[in-house]
């Protein structure tokens, strides 16, 4: 007896269905992450007028910090806190936003395979005619799309208050600032997906990319002032991240980081296709 | 009849210390209901997960619908409805949403049969998983395994957590599935239901398939419960000495024992006295199953 299925299944139909399914599951997280980070930026923007009045004193204070400390907090040489772009860069986009937001794709990717194995939900899903690589790709694409959703919310919470408060923040700078977070975050999402495929334990799929994230940040930040770390900086993602809100997006770096993220996902798909699934 | 499932020397080990399955040779024919029995840890789930390519065999091969499980797993899963042993879903999902997603994954456009199944086994499709009891989750699991009318059902402990009425309905659905010419392969601890619906039974012990028989053959080849009632008390000793007689008890004028051997000698010995009644019963499948794990010389084959 023929099973109840359409005569011709579209080969990519399962991938699209997985992307839609995963994106819907992540919708609540998108709102939570977007609003949480957005509120941080809203408060930062809202505090700018007060800071602007004392900007020279603040600039002098920041200049007095040790260079290593300034680098750690994303305050580069020549940062002018009287400009909203530099202020936002120093407060969020160079430090807090990338470190915090990278955990969204890390958690999502860790949960896609290893987490699904631990929850026991993966057998049900893969009982369907879904190639394993599509589970990996679909989860990653969905997470990348969800990430864009978070960035849209973040951008709105940054630009709209600036407009309302008559702060001279261009929409272009805002878009470039938030968009520039995307490849960096997807890189760590790709790394988490690879760990999820390799280790089938969610805690490792979170801890390893998390450690790499923090480690890379420190190496890049301290490499500016610590000679022994200088040569290692180009191997960190943060070296190529730059400050888009101040200088615009470096599209070569944007594409390069995205490409590495895709390679990590490809490795994850190959790894997952070859191993046992444990529940 | 063509073989829907065929394994040759199928083996799966988990490292050096942990045994999975070893040299399993199994054949399940089209249209039959095959019961797979074994205690926890015997290898039932390892076998079914290897058939679905969730686990890679360390030896041997397996084919489903003539397709090799490692190379053509996606095509196989198109034709299979699977209920895993531990059915779990995302907490916030409802059964209805799950079915819609799975329907999209399978290219199924019509969910009427899904709703019909849900109604028959009283599955609540509207409530999120986190608010469902184990039994109600299991019902969702059954619906998602069966809604697309797959040619092969692979069910791991399908009636776990179900109340008796729903179990009864499930067995009816299995009967309908068989009548449609579709094949069912399921593992179970509920030996009464296996005895009732299965055409053949395979018993796995410590990773090895110890026997595959039709249910009737398995029960007929096995031991018997014999009860003899005489008109006066008889000496049980001669009966005890008969080959294949075990667990003999003498109460008043009755003798009861388990017979693993030839009935002819028992009848001849009983005929020396004045026999009033004789009962000769097949064991339940549960007793047969336990015998494979017991210490009897002549238990089964």
Q: Which helix (H) or strand (E) holds B80?
A: strand B80-83
* Nearest CB to B89; choose among A18, A121, A276: A121
Contact B78 A121 (CB under 8 A): no
Q: pLDDT at position B221, please?
A: 66
Sheet holding B208-214, edge to edge: B80-83, B152-156, B183-187, B33-37, B200-205, B208-214
Contact B54 A17 (CB under 8 A): no
Say whether pLDDT at B175 is over 90. yes
Between CA A63 and CA B174 the distance in angstroms is: 78
Q: How far is the alpha carbon of B36 from chain A, nearest alpha carbon, in Å?
A: 19
Q: pLDDT at position A63, please?
A: 73
Between CA A16 and CA A141 the distance in angstroms is: 10
Q: Would you say B108 and A35 are in contact if contact means Cβ atoms under 8 Å apart?
A: no
Q: Would you say A245 and A45 are in contact if contact means Cβ atoms under 8 Å apart?
A: no
- Give contacts of A133 with chain B, Cβ < 8 Å: none
- Give B288's pLDDT tier (boundaries 50, 70, 90): confident
B143, closest residue in chain A (CA to CA): A124
Q: pLDDT at position B232, please?
A: 93
Q: Would you say B90 and A25 are in contact if contact means Cβ atoms under 8 Å apart?
A: yes
CATH architecture of B223-281: 2-Layer Sandwich (3.30)
pLDDT digits 0-9 by tens, B25-34: 999 999 999 9
Q: Which helix (H) or strand (E) holds B59?
A: strand B59-64
Q: Which helix (H) or strand (E) holds B246?
A: strand B245-251
Best of B70, B106, B130, B157 to substitute, by most chain A Cβ atoms within 10 angstroms, is B106
Contact B108 A5 (CB under 8 A): yes
**Domain ranges across chain B:** 3-217, 223-281
Q: pLDDT at position A13, please?
A: 85
Is B201 or A279 the better-scoring residue by pLDDT? B201
Contact B92 A25 (CB under 8 A): yes
Interface of A with B in 113-152 (CB under 8 A): 119-121, 123-124, 126-131
ipTM: 0.85
Contact A127 B80 (CB under 8 A): yes
Q: pLDDT at position B293, please?
A: 63
Best of B88, B92, B182 to substitute, by most chain A Cβ atoms within 10 angstroms, is B88
Coil, helix or strand at residue B30? coil
pLDDT digits 0-9 by tens, B209-263: 988 988 887 776 677 889 999 999 999 999 999 988 988 999 999 999 998 877 8
Sheet holding B275-281, edge to edge: B245-251, B254-259, B224-230, B275-281
Find, among B77, B190, B96, B80, the residue nearest to B140 by Cα. B96
CATH number given to B3-217: 3.40.50.300
Q: pLDDT at position A77, please?
A: 67
* Nearest CB to A276; choose among B54, B89, B101: B54
Find, among A124, A205, A83, A48, the residue nearest to B105 by Cα. A124
Q: How far is the alpha carbon of B298 from chain A, nearest alpha carbon, in Å?
A: 39
Q: At CB < 8 Å, which residues of chain B contact A? A: 49, 52, 54-56, 74-75, 77-82, 84, 86-90, 92-93, 101-102, 104-110, 113, 141, 144-145, 147-151, 180-182
Q: pLDDT at position A201, please?
A: 93
Q: What is the mean pLDDT of residues B140-161?
A: 95
- Chain Cα centroid distance, residue A167: 27
pLDDT digits 0-9 by tens, B51-107: 999 999 999 999 999 999 999 999 999 999 999 988 888 888 999 999 999 999 999
pTM of the full structure: 0.86
Best of A1, A4, A29, A117 to substitute, by most chain B Cβ atoms within 10 angstroms, is A4
Q: Would you say A253 and A243 are in contact if contact means Cβ atoms under 8 Å apart?
A: no
* Nearest CB to B88; choose among A9, A121, A129: A121
Find, among B9, B27, B80, B3, the residue nearest to B214 by Cα. B27
Percent of chain B with pLDDT over 90: 71
Q: How far is the alpha carbon of A23 from chain B, nearest alpha carbon, in Å?
A: 13
The DSSP 8-state label assigned to residue A112 in this structure reads: I
Contact A129 B52 (CB under 8 A): no
How many CB pairs below 8 Å do chains A and B form together? 98
Between CA A177 and CA A159 the distance in angstroms is: 11
Q: Which helix (H) or strand (E) holds B230?
A: strand B224-230
Find, among B155, B162, B188, the residue nearest to B82 by Cα. B155
Tens-digit pLDDT string for chain A (279 aa): 444 444 445 668 899 999 999 999 999 999 999 999 999 999 999 999 887 777 677 777 777 777 777 766 667 667 777 889 988 998 899 889 999 999 999 999 999 999 999 999 999 999 999 999 999 999 999 999 999 999 999 999 999 999 999 999 999 999 999 999 999 999 999 999 999 999 989 999 999 999 999 999 999 988 878 888 889 999 999 999 978 888 889 999 999 999 999 999 999 999 999 999 987
């Amino acid at each position: 007896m023929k099973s109840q299925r359409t005569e011709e299944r579209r080969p990519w139909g399962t991938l699209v269905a997985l992307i839609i399914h995963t994106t819907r599951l992540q919708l609540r997280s998108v709102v939570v992450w977007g609003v949480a980070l957005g509120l941080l930026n809203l408060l930062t923007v809202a505090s700018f007028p007060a800071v602007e009045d004392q900007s020279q004193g603040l600039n002098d204070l920041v200049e007095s910090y040790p260079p290593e400390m300034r680098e750690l907090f994303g305050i580069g040489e020549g940062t002018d806190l009287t400009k909203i772009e530099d202020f936002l860069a120093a407060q969020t986009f160079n430090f807090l936003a990338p470190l915090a937001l990278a955990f969204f794709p890390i958690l999502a990717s860790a949960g896609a395979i290893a987490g699904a194995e631990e929850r026991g939900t993966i057998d049900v899903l893969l009982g369907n005619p879904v190639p394993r690589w599509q589970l990996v790709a679909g989860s990653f694409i969905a997470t990348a799309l969800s990430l864009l959703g978070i960035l849209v919310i973040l951008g709105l919470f940054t630009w709209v208050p600036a407009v309302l408060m008559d702060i001279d923040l261009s929409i272009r700078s805002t878009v470039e600032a938030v968009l520039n977070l995307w490849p960096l975050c997807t890189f760590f999402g790709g790394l988490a997906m690879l760990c999820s495929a390799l280790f089938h334990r969610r805690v490792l799929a979170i801890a390893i990319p998390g450690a790499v994230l923090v480690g890379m940040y420190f190496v890049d930040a301290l490499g500016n002032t610590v000679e022994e770390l200088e040569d290692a900086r180009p191997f960190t993602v943060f070296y190529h991240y730059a400050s888009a809100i101040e200088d615009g997006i470096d599209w070569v770096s944007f594409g390069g980081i995205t490409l590495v993220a895709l390679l990590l996902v490809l490795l994850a798909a190959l790894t997952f296709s070859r191993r046992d699934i444990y529940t | 009849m063509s073989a829907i499932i065929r394994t040759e020397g199928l083996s799966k080990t988990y490292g050096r210390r942990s045994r999975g399955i070893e040299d399993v040779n199994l054949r399940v024919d089209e249209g039959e209901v095959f019961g797979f029995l074994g205690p926890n840890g015997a290898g039932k789930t390892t076998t079914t997960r290897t058939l679905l390519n969730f686990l890679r065999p360390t030896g041997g091969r397996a084919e489903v619908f003539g397709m090799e499980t490692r190379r053509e797993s996606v095509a196989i899963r198109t034709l299979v409805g699977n209920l895993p042993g531990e059915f779990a879903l995302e907490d916030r999902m409802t059964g209805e949403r799950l079915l819609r997603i799975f329907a999209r994954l399978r290219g199924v456009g019509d969910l009427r049969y899904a709703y019909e199944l849900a109604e028959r086994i009283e599955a609540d499709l509207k409530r999120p998983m986190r608010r469902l009891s184990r039994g109600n989750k299991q019902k969702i699991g059954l619906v998602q395994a069966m809604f697309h009318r797959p040619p092969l059902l692979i069910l791991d402990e399908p009636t776990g957590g179900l109340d008796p009425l729903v179990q009864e309905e499930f067995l009816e659905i299995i009967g309908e599935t068989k009548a449609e010419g579709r094949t069912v392969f399921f593992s179970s601890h509920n030996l009464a239901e296996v005895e009732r619906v299965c055409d053949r039974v395979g018993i796995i012990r410590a990773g090895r398939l110890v026997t595959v028989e039709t249910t009737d053959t398995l029960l007929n080849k096995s031991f018997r419960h014999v009860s003899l009632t005489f008109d006066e008390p008889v000496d049980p000793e001669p009966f005890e000495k008969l080959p294949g007689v075990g667990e003999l008890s003498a109460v008043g004028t009755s003798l009861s024992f388990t017979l693993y051997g030839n009935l002819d000698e028992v009848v001849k010995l009983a005929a020396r006295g004045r026999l009033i009644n004789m009962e000769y019963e097949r064991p339940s499948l549960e007793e047969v199953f336990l015998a494979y794990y017991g210490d009897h010389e002549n238990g089964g084959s």
